Amino acid sequence: MNRRKEACHCRNVTYGMIEDAVRGGADTLQAVMDATGAGRGCGKCRDFLEYLIRDIREEMEKEANHAVQ
């Protein structure tokens, strides 16, 4: 993932900022919006943010499963 790429253009929130928020415990769209401000402008990115959050959470699960093995 390109952490510098913008996920929310209205608020200049990057993929990395979203990932950091999710890894820090913001595991819902609302929590990510509260933590980063993403999705609070025009709102067009909200669907994308949901997918990005899901993908990051799946990656975290994989990492956790590998750490246990």
pLDDT of 1 reads 81
Query: In the structure, what pLDDT confidence band is assigned to residue 13 with cuts at 50, 70 and 90?
Result: very high
**pTM higher than the cut 0.85:** yes
* Closest residue by Cα to residue 17 from 32, 30, 39: 32
Helix (H) or strand (E) holding 11: none
**Residues 45-60: what's their mean pLDDT?**
97
CB of 38 within 8 A of CB of 13?
yes
* Alpha carbons 26 and 47: distance in angstroms, whole number: 16
pLDDT digits (tens, 9 = 90+) for 14-52: 999 999 999 999 999 999 999 999 999 999 999 999 999
pLDDT of 67 reads 82
Place of tokens 């415990």: 25
Task: Tell me the domains of the chain and their CATH numbers.
Answer: 6-68 (1.10.10.1100)
CA distances from 11 to 14, 35, 53, 63 (A): 9, 12, 17, 30
